[in-house]
Amino acid sequence: MRIEALRGAALSGKAIDAGDGAPRAAALPMIVGAGGMLGRHLAEILIPDHPDTVCATRDEIDITDYFGTRWNLERLEPTVVINCAALTDVDGCEARAEEANRVNGEGAGLLSRACREVGARIIHVSTDFVFDGASERPYREDDAARPLSAYGRSKLLGERRVAEENPDHLIVRCSWLYGPYGRSFVSAILEAARAGRTPRVVTDQHGTPTYTADLGWAIRRLLDMPARGVIHFANAGVCSRLELAREALRAAGLAVPVEPIRSDELSRPARRPAYSALDTARYAALAGEPPRPWQETLADYVAATAAG
């Protein structure tokens, strides 16, 4: 549903357990940035259980416009706002650092302030790029954030502004996100292979891939949990970009060679962390089960995109 269809939307009267034994009204979610790769998939997941979900694209809610954002929140009365809005062009952010800080940093904080003032919880989506990649184990939520890029710095600023503006917040960090509704590393590899080109892929970046469907379901579960602060979600397992590319090609049935290279051979404007795997133990404890393996979700993605 788009925002125009939900003028005057009212809260559901259904009660759920808030986790402390006290019932509270069922969540009325609002997705900000609903036109993006994650936002579109998240809407598909939420609407069957929450048919009054408000889905607002960046043309409908500009998070850098505080008064317009607050007016929409007051009008539509969401109980929880999921912020998927972001400037995600990692290399582009190097030349547009001020804009990145305005959208990913200050804009996220303004949205969080508006949520607090109307009594709504905020779930803010962040990134593994807040880390410097120097760790030798998956990053935990309380590990020090030291971003290497303008994009990472803007997202860390957003995390801090969200937390400062609204105590009722949950920051969900994900990594290496891909899905059927936008361009990603995985889609670029498959596109190159299908066009008859040999993909050039770095061997010295390791992380945890995240499928938008699984992240969407994780957020769906977290809606009804009293979790606050920061939580990591990614699919299980650690791989290199090269391993991810080869598995994507194998799953798609494409017998195309991959040219291994090092990061410094690409000469890209933004530095990437060499290792940014995320520890998802906190999420697993809350949900009662660990995330699915990345190989399994990658196969699901390839099948879904092949089916259109």
Give yes or no for a contact between 212 and 31, defined as CB atoms under 8 angstroms apart.
no
Q: How far is 152 from 148, CA to CA, in rounded Å?
A: 6
d(CA 308, CA 155) in angstroms, rounded, equals 32
Q: Which of 66, 139, 151, 181 is catalytic?
A: 151
Residue 307 Cα distances to 108, 180, 300, 301, 304, angstroms: 35, 11, 11, 10, 5
- CA gap 276, 175 in Å, rounded: 8
**Sign of the C-alpha dihedral, residues 62, 69, 110, 166?**
negative
- Name the residue among 304, 93, 36, 267 with its Cα closest to residue 190: 304
Phi-psi domain of 21 (left: phi exceeds 0; alpha: psi -120 through 50; beta: other) = left
Whether 151 sits among the annotated catalytic residues: the reply is yes
Q: Please identify every residue annotated as catalytic.
A: 151
